[in-house]
Structures are given as C-alpha cells and as structure tokens.
Amino acid sequence: MHTVAVLALDGVVPFDLSTPLEVFGRARLADGTPAYRVLVCASTPEVTAGGLAIRVPCGLDGLHEADTIVVPGLADVSTPVPPLVLQRLREAAERGVRLASICAGAFTLAAAGVLDGLRATTHWLAAAELARRYPAVEVDPDVLYVDNGNVLTSAGAAAGLDLCLHMIRRDHGAAVAAHAARISVMPMERDGGQAQFIVHAPPSAQGCSLEPLLRWMSASVHEPLTLAAIAARANLSIRTLSRRFREQTGTTPQRWLHHARIHRAQYLLETTDYTLDRIARQAGFGSATTFRDRFKGTVGVSPQTYRRRFTVAETR
DNA sequence: CCTTCGTTCCGCCATG
DNA sequence: CACATGGCGGAACGAA
C-alpha cells in the first residue's frame, strides 16, 4: 500500500497539517479498503501548531517508509528548518520519493534545494518572498498547484485539498479521487472544471465572471467549439473574450477547452469500455489519431496505457 | 515524418 | 486624460 508521511514541524499550520491527514486517510479504493497508509512524522515528540500542542507518534524515521512526503506550511516562514530534516528531504528526493508541499510548505522544500530549477507555487502573499529567497525556483502565484512529477507544490491552504485530490487521481484514477472529494464535500473540479487554474474573481462590478461560460464549455466539449461560437455565447467579441480568459483563468480559451476534453476522455477511459474512436468523438477530438497524439502529449501516456493503469485496480 | 491549410493568440492601434 | 473595447495582421499552432 502507498504510504503517505506528513511532516509536522514545530510551528506547523494546523489546517495545512490536517488536510492531507483527512483526505488521504479517508480515501477508499473501489472495494472499500483504505487507499493509503498515513503517518505523521516529526523531529520532536511534541510540536506546537497554532494554539495547540500536538504529540506526534512517529519520528523522522517514518520518512524512510514513505512513498509520498507531504510538507505543510509553517505559520512563520522565517522559522529555520532543522538541518536533519532538510537532509532527509534531500535523501528522499534522491530515492525518487514524491514530495508535495501545501501553502508555505514550499519554503521548506526550497530550503532543502529540491525545488531548484523547477516551477513552484505557494500562498500568494508569500510568493514574492519565496522568489526572492530562492532565485533558482520559478515561482508562479497564479495556479492552484504545480505538478513536476515527483515534486509538487500548492498555493494557499485550500489549494492543498486540490493538490491532495490531484495526487489521488494520479495514483488511483478519477473515480477514487471523486469519492475522496465527496467525503470532503469538495467539488472534484472547481467551477468551470479546470482544477489547475485559479479563477480570479473579477475586480468588482467591472466585467463579469466567466464561470457560467466555463460550465457551459465543459458541458459542450463533445461539440466542435470555435472561438467565434464561444464568444457569441458569452456576448463578447473574440478579442475581449481572450482578454477575460487570460485575466480570470491565466490561460487561453483553446488551451482551457483542450484540458476539459482531456479530463472528459480520462473519465470515459476509466469508467467505460468504449472504443478509443468513440471516446475521441465524445470528448470532442476530431479523430482517434489526433486524440491519441494530444492525449499522450498532455498526460504523458497513451490512452490505452492510461486505461489499463486504472482498470486493473478496480477488478470486479 | 512532412506539408498544407484553417484557426488561434496577442501586440498594436483607432475608437468610444 | 485614463480606460475599456474590438478590429487587424502576422506568427504560431493544430488538424488531417
């Protein structure tokens, strides 16, 4: 079973700490068995967390058993991290253990050097400070989380939930993740369907939110949507639509739509035995060949490999 | 793998 | 003047 170790340092933010405990701890496979074993590890038997004192059962040795180490943020990002902890994180990275930070936890990962040369995110209030202290890290404050494969970072506290669900989806597929999301009363996909991108609220009365449009788009992925059609639906000119998209989602209409289509395809691959041809059509790809090509390009594996990876676990 | 052709994106700028 | 809009054109991209 996949073991998740959560690193509880002195001064940890209780919310950041409890998010992975709850989400991974409650995740269940299709047959009802726990999907993860969750450990809490600390370098001292007791840590303070907000106004709490928490007894931590497991020492740093627990990190040796981990397949994933989750690093929650510290309330004060200037708190020095014990050198031994940094050492253990570096060793874990070299072993290929997956490292994930929540909120200001990115500072801990950065201090260990495992973010060097990678894109990363953190709480938006702390993003500038992270970039200043660790110039080798490419800080992007405009996404909910960044997935570098074995090193993942997430933005403010609530984005830690998105990141945990994202990892569950990677490990066990969308169905298990959707169940975990339901347990947390958390929408699997944020309004509009693209979990990766923060939808910035419009500044005020100026302009209106794209969310209804995004919902419509994700419900219409099977249709060949052109920019002109989308703009018409929103009663905006093409030029203004493009601008709103960049402001509110950080991406372009076509890229956003592409991700929505990939998501739909992943869902169909996992939950049905439709042919690739049929899935390609229902997800809005012009042909099975372009579907295969684009799927591999974005997800990293072919549709067939993806399907096999997630249907074997759910034998019935 | 390459080529062809339509679409999309974005800086620029005139306009309201 | 500050600001938002939307059309234009070329470069980049994606479909087949």
Q: Does residue A57 approach strand C to less than 7 Å at its CB?
A: no
| pLDDT for res A85 | 95
Is the pLDDT reported for residue A197 higher than 60? no
Q: Does residue A243 approach strand B to less than 7 Å at its CB?
A: no
**SS3 annotation, chain A:** CEEEEEECCCCECHHHHHHHHHHHHHCECCCCCECEEEEEECCCCEEEECCEEEECCECHHHHHHCCEEEECCECCCCCCCCHHHHHHHHHHHHHCCEEEECCCHHHHHHHHCCCCCCEECCCCCCHHHHHHHCCCCEECCCECEEECCCEEEECCHHHHHHHHHHHHHHHHCHHHHHHHHHHCCCCCCCCCCCCCECCCCCCCCCCCCCHHHHHHHHHCCCCCCCHHHHHHHHCCCHHHHHHHHHHHHCCCHHHHHHHHHHHHHHHHHHHCCCCHHHHHHHCCCCCHHHHHHHHHHHHCCCHHHHHHHHHCCCCC
CA A157 – C1' C3 distance (Å)?
35
Q: What is the pLDDT of residues A258-297, one digit of tens each?
A: 989 998 898 888 888 899 999 999 999 989 999 999 999 8
The average pLDDT across A168-196 equals 68
CA A128 – C1' B5 distance (Å)?
44
Given pLDDT bands bounded at 50, 70 and 90, which one contains residue A181? Answer: confident
